[in-house]
Amino acid sequence: MRWPLHTLQIDGDTRRDAETRSWPVLQKGFRPFFLLGAVVAVTMLGAWLMVLFGTFAPATRFSVSAWHGHEMLFGFAVAIIAGFLLTAVGNWTQRDTAVGPKLLLLCLLFVAGRVAVTYGALLPPWLPVAVDVGFLPVLAVVLGRPIVATHNTKNLVVVVVVLALAVTNLMMHLGALGLAADWEHRGLLVAVDLVILIASIIACRVFPMFTRNATRQESIRGVPRLDVAALVAIATLTVLDAARVQHAVVGVLFVGAACLLVARARHWGTRFTLRTPLLWVLHAGYAWMCLGLCLRGVAMLTTRVPASLALHALTVGAIGSLTLGMISRVSLGHTGRLLEAPPSATVAFVLMTLAAVSRVIVPLAAPEWTRPSLLVAGLLFASAFGVLLVGYTRMLLSARVDEKAG
């Protein structure tokens, strides 16, 4: 299905100098960071499967499970968030965030963090902390400057959340160094909450608009009061996780938050999206978000649902699907192409959905199949981003087809 390009673009294009134009990959933040995020997804999932089967041992100061979680959040997910926000803030404010050499330096800092974390045991203890934790504050400054300069105060929330993510990253590093008991796990949990909060903010802003513009169903709309209630609920649960509050009431609150997310999406037109891959993958990711929050609550109320399944419903199901969908959509729109998913993207969406089913639903229904389902899920997740790289790398490295800047 085809629809106009302007349904994705936020406010317009910013100017680029001649030097930046000669390097298309450095013209907007989404280009290098989407590529980096996809590469991290493929390589880190492959490395994690090798760890599980005893063929690789990272020289990291983290426990191997914490290293896996850290890199999937602060490597993979943060790269996609960075690419999206660098592009969106530039369009919201009509000012550059980071382009050209500045964008290259930001990418190099991100890559240095991945190396420093994976081989941290071979380095002085505080070097990986400084390199890896430093990326998000630098990103916050880059995002914050044009927002403050243009008095675009309603979008300062993204800077606050990025800084909060930096704090959780520091928590994990302090835990890995043995300076704070259980902070590896707590930092990881709160980081997942914050990424889900970011995803929830983006969802209520754009999912109804994307769906209405594509399907021409005028009944599709958001419900602002429910949007606020859902975001407040997730923010509250994030604070409770940070405080390590373990109580049955918190479990009930997680289930309640899931219900709020379902209620606010009632008028988002999900039933109209099934024939449009660029839409259904976003709605599928949102459904996994609702399920993941519900499972987190149930896991706190009963031992029949392992907490790890709830966590992976949020990470593999929600974050995996939503990042694939946003990479595909933003890349098409901001390279001057029609918003029509190429075959590679559709295949990637299906693979990610199957990965989430394998990682969450199969172990929930048949616990004895947990280990093989974990292997299958990892292969499917890595394959989804591998297929996306095949279909989108040239697009992200090349100039816009409409010859505009960006």
pLDDT tens for residues 233-283?
999 999 999 999 988 999 999 999 999 999 999 999 999 999 999 999 999
Cα(6)–Cα(339) distance, integer angstroms: 10
228 in Cβ contact with 290 (< 8 Å) = no
Q: Check pLDDT > 70 for residue 304.
A: yes
Q: Check pLDDT > 90 for residue 208.
A: yes
Report residue 160 CA to chain centroid gap: 16
- Percent with pLDDT over 70 in the chain: 95
328 in Cβ contact with 392 (< 8 Å) = yes
For the residues 386-399, what does the mean pLDDT come to?
Answer: 95
Looking at every residue in the chain, the average pLDDT score rounds to: 92
What is residue 95's predicted lDDT score, i.e. its pLDDT?
92
Q: Check pLDDT > 50 for residue 364.
A: yes
What is residue 49's predicted lDDT score, i.e. its pLDDT?
93
What is residue 150's predicted lDDT score, i.e. its pLDDT?
94
For the residues 171-179, what does the mean pLDDT come to?
Answer: 96
Sorting pLDDT into bands at 50, 70 and 90, what band is 21? low
What is residue 246's predicted lDDT score, i.e. its pLDDT?
86
Cα(140)–Cα(146) distance, integer angstroms: 11
138 in Cβ contact with 171 (< 8 Å) = no
Q: Check pLDDT > 70 for residue 11.
A: no
pLDDT tens for residues 120-143?
999 999 999 999 999 999 999 999
For CA atoms 152, 154, 159, 162, the dihedral sign is negative
pLDDT tens for residues 371-380?
999 999 999 9
For the residues 70-81, what does the mean pLDDT come to?
Answer: 97
For the residues 113-122, what does the mean pLDDT come to?
Answer: 96
CA atoms within 13 A on the CB side of 263: 15
pLDDT tens for residues 90-107?
999 999 899 999 999 999
